[in-house]
Chains A and B, each alone.
Chain A
Amino acid sequence: MLTAIISIGLLAAALGLVLGYASIRFKVEGDPIVDQIDAVLPQTQCGQCGFPGCRPYAEAIARGEAEINRCPPGGEATINALADLLGKEPIPLDEERGTTPEEPLIAFINEDICIGCTLCIQACPVDAIIGAAKQMHTVIRDECTGCDLCPPACPVDCIDMIPIPKKLDDWVWDTPKEKLIVEPAS
């Protein structure tokens, strides 16, 4: 009885050690720089940079085939972060690629006008629009990345880009516009 427990236990432990060693020895490493660049990009998957998504753009930057200024949704912050990461000089955004919105926007479908053509569903890179043929469509707010790809696809112009609506749990006071501390009169 004891022999059985010990021997099977030892066999299992030995096999476990072999597997553990193998997982270190045969570890598959991705290209770390691509992962880092991809983490900086805003993941809108909008394709405004000319690549079919953020990951391919990150790969192109890593290969040195693309400049770092082709991401309108990320804007200046992304360019600065990329320049920092890659040790390059920050350069202004390539205006041909589009402009950075003042604040983050998401798509909103005016459901009274929507005819249920499914064209915007096909245009959406992150599957944030739900609906079926000849049924009203709507946008899942949490999934929408504000990539601006669906408004051009809509044949009846029922999609608007709106600022993200404030909810109770993410509402904050506006930052004060005037100085709160009045300089003491001398």
Chain B
Amino acid sequence: MAEFALILVSTILVNNFVLVKFLGLCPFMGVSSKLETAMGMGLATTFVLTLSSATSELANVWLLEPLGIEYLRTITFILIIAAIVGFTEMVVHKTSPLLYKVLGIYLPLITTNCAVLGVALLNVSENHGFLGSLLYGFGASIGFTLVLVLFAAMRERINAADVPEPFRGGSIALITAGLMSLAFMGFTGLIPG
């Protein structure tokens, strides 16, 4: 139990995928200009990341390792992620048209989110096991959503602020992201000893 809690805290704060491991930076910069879209993206990513993390682990243990074809890991995982994203899109479209409207274009975009593939590959190299992978994926996506929403809220404020001319737009966003990253590195202090 303590181990699982540790995984969650570690992925959400200490080893945050966006700000410490620098994965999934494209959606982080791309869809963070509005708070609502950031929440939609976070929600969709949480769902897909958790599911694909567990499924990839299963495929690795039951398919790749028994057949001795671990070198095809990346292509297999990409295949699984793409299929899950497509499946999710169809199910959401059918069961909840409202959610489908909110998520919109962000659902298919998740396929190209490098954090999703990164989590699946890290699961293998760090030997998390099935439950561990599930939690690892869930924690990673919660961490992703957390910083995405925080960053979007900041950018909305920055848009209204008096930023010097040369720093407007993308530059101030990158500087802010860097400062956030520095702040998140401070969570490393949570690890005892």
Task: Point out residues on A near B: beta carbons under 8 Å.
Answer: 3-4, 7-8, 11-12, 15-16, 18-19, 22-23, 26-28
B59 within 8 A of A: yes
With an 8 Å Cβ cutoff, the count of chain B residues facing the other chain is 19
Q: Interface majority SS on A: helix, strand, loop or mixed?
A: helix
Contact of B63 among A7, A23, A26 (CB under 8 A): A7
B94:A18 contact, CB within 8 angstroms: no
B83:A19 contact, CB within 8 angstroms: yes
With known contacts A8-B75, A11-B79, A28-B94, A22–B67 Cβ distance under 8 A: no
The total number of A-B Cβ pairs within 8 Å is 43
A11–B87 CA distance with the chains assembled, in angstroms = 15
B80 within 8 A of A: yes
A89–B168 CA distance with the chains assembled, in angstroms = 65
A15 cross-chain contacts in B, Cβ below 8 A: 79-80, 83
B190 within 8 A of A: no
Q: 0/1 per residue, B86-106, Cβ < 8 Å to A?
A: 110011011101000000000
B1 within 8 A of A: no
Closest to B95 in A: A26
B63:A11 contact, CB within 8 angstroms: yes
A4–B66 CA distance with the chains assembled, in angstroms = 11
B176 within 8 A of A: no
A27–B95 CA distance with the chains assembled, in angstroms = 10
